[in-house]
């Protein structure tokens, strides 16, 4: 099965009525100095390119979270090879016309992950008549370190280049380039928020889905400079693109692993990632404060986002009031008021529950509320909260993804130290979540009323799903910024 792209023909594979084309380059291989340049066009190829196997991934260190096995989510690590700026495409029929297109941007803290992770198989979307595309982008130092002499946010620029590739090529895979939904989770969702504010992305997508991202998750230039200075000191070079270009990928990956924990609080900014990652977008204006793109938006978080960063490390049950106060102090200008609000809303909660709630909202909730509010004032926004509780981690960060991709039966997700635990996930909820994403991609309406300042209608996904108005209004207001 072959498709002709603007750079040459590719040969895919067909299985169970689904065609897949894997590891197709959308930009030139980033090697040497080009790792710190904007993405460039890939050279054309003359022969038909094999696209039956996944390609390499961005350089990265193994990503471990305590005692949890999250390889289904992060992938198997660094699959070496320079030509890793690629897309993977699943389609029900390359000969079709006008199918909706969904482009997925993976998470991984800006330092890990890939579009080839087992969880992101696009077959379920293709069976429902959607062309599903997953994207690899530069990570860590190469992708997001703010280096003098290099363009900022190179990982985001990679995603823009991938969206241009989709615009120019997806019709050959049966898709409609005018009906593109870009969606991402965690770091990928923060990148999608950045795309909403990026002029270079204008017109490349019609709809967007932000799953547990943050419209307030970007670093200021001052904060980014702290990370750059630390990286340069570790490497023993000056902070410049020319100097970094001479460093091997192995050393850059090693250095990225040593940067975690830098205190990025400044006189004017808290750390939007509360020390969990030294990399993010670098923007002078947060996406939630930028002009609103004229696209439909589906956006939400999970009820217990913070559990992922506590439970696997044995920090949940041992959490104290001092731990709660410490998280609040990193994230909020009035930590005492913030903690008081959370305790009032959860009078019977344990220290772990409060700590997880504050941490989760610091990372994802506050920035999601801010972006939703801003978007809803000018365009269509639909809000959700994913509340189903995994027996291992509760309604934690990432737990909605197997439902979105209809992959809850994946063996790598099941077991005592894996995301979904040992019990069967509810099939009716899988259907409801997945179908909502597909419906939104097709029509711009996931199946419930839009979010407005008057109602703040939110779909709560659980065994008994339904809409509620402003379900966490007190916490939302506690994070509102002056003006």
Place of tokens 């659980």: 462
Q: Which two tokens stand for residue 395?
A: 């309604």
Helices 351-360 and 321-331: angle between axes, nearest 10 degrees = 10
Residue 158 and residue 85 in contact, taking contact as beta carbons nearer than 8 Å: yes
Helices and strands per DSSP (H, E), number in the chain: 15, 14
Dihedral sign for Cα 205, 465, 305, 130, please: negative
Q: Cβ distance 159 to 86 under 8 Å? A: no
Residue 21 burial (10 A CB sphere; 0-12, 13-18, 19+)? buried
Q: Is 214 a catalytic residue?
A: no
Among candidate residues 42, 332, 375, 397, the one labeled active-site is 397
Where in 111-172 does DSSP place strands (E)? 131-135
Count the Cβ atoms, other than its own, within 10 Å of residue 348: 5
Nearest one of 242, 238, 371 to 300, comparing CA atoms: 371
Query: In angstroms, rounded to a whole number, what is the distance separating the alpha carbons of residues 90 and 124?
Result: 9
How wide is the angle at C-alpha 212 spanned by C-alphas 304 and 354, nearest 5°?
25
Q: Of 114, 214, 304, 305, which residue is the catalytic one?
A: 305
The burial of 481, by beta-carbon neighbours within 10 Å (0-12 exposed, 13-18 middle, 19 or more buried), is given as: exposed
- How many whole angstroms separate alpha carbon 374 and alpha carbon 289? 7
Q: Look at the block and give the residue holding tokens 């339904």.
A: 466
Q: Is 14 a catalytic residue?
A: no
Return the closest-CA partner of residue 143 out of 162, 157, 133: 157
H-run or E-run covering 101: strand 99-105
User: Active-site residue among 114, 123, 186, 212?
Assistant: 186
User: What span, in angstroms and rounded, lies between the C-alpha atoms of 178 and 176?
Assistant: 5
Asked if residue 322 lies in contact with residue 330, where contact means CB atoms within 8 angstroms, the answer is no
Cα 165 from Cα 32, distance rounded (Å): 23
Classify each residue of 83-96 as buried b or exposed e, where b means 16 or more C-beta atoms within 10 Å of its C-beta: ebbbbbbbbbbbee
DSSP type of residue 42: P
Residues 6+ apart with CB under 8 A from 246: 237
Residue 397 catalytic? yes
Q: Which residues are catalytic?
A: 186, 305, 397
């Amino acid at each position: 099965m072959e498709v002709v792209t603007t750079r040459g023909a590719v040969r895919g594979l067909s299985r169970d009525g689904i065609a897949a084309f894997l590891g197709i380059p959308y930009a030139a291989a980033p090697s040497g100095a080009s790792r710190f340049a904007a993405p460039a066009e890939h050279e054309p190829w003359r022969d038909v390119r094999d696209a039956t196997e996944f390609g390499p991934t961005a350089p990265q260190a193994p990503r471990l979270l305590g005692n949890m096995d999250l390889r289904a989510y992060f992938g198997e690590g660094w699959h070496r090879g320079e030509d890793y700026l690629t897309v993977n495409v699943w389609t029900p029929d390359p000969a079709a016309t006008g199918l909706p297109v969904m482009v997925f941007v993976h998470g991984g803290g800006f330092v890990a992950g890939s579009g080839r992770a087992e969880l992101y198989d696009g077959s379920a979307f293709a069976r429902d008549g959607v062309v599903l595309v997953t994207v690899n982008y530069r990570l860590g130092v190469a992708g997001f370190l703010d280096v003098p002499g290099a363009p900022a946010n190179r990982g985001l620029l990679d995603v823009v280049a991938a969206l241009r590739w989709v615009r120019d090529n997806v019709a050959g895979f049966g898709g409609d380039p005018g009906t593109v939904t870009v969606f991402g989770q965690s770091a990928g969702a923060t990148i999608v928020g950045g795309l909403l504010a990026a002029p270079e992305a204008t017109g490349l997508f019609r709809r967007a889905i932000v799953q547990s991202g943050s419209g307030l998750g970007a670093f200021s230039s001052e904060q980014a400079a702290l990370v750059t200075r630390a990286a340069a000191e570790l490497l023993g070079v000056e902070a410049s693109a020319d100097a970094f270009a001479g460093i091997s990928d192995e050393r850059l990956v090693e250095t990225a692993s040593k940067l975690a924990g830098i205190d990025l609080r400044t006189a004017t900014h808290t750390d939007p990632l509360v020390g969990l990652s030294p990399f993010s977008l670098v923007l002078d204006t947060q996406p939630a404060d930028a002009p609103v793109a004229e696209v439909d938006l589906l956006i939400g978080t999970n009820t217990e986002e913070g559990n992922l960063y506590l439970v696997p490390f044995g920090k949940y049950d041992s959490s104290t009031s001092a731990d709660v106060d410490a998280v609040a102090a990193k994230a909020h200008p009035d930590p005492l008021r913030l903690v008081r609000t959370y305790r009032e809303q959860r009078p019977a909660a344990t220290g772990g529950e409060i700590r997880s709630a504050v941490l989760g909202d610091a990372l994802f909730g506050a920035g999601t509320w801010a972006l939703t509010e801003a978007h809803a004032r000018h365009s269509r926004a639909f809000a959700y909260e994913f509340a189903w509780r995994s027996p291992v981690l509760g309604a934690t960060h990432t737990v909605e993804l197997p439902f979105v991709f209809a992959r809850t039966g994946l063996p790598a997700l099941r077991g005592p130290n894996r995301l979904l635990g040992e019990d069967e996930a509810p099939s009716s909820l899988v259907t409801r979540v997945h179908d909502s994403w597909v419906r939104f991609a097709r029509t711009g309406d996931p199946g419930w009323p839009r979010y407005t300042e008057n109602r703040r209608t939110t779909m709560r996904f659980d065994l008994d799903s339904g809409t509620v108005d402003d379900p966490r209004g007190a916490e939302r207001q506690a994070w509102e910024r002056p003006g």
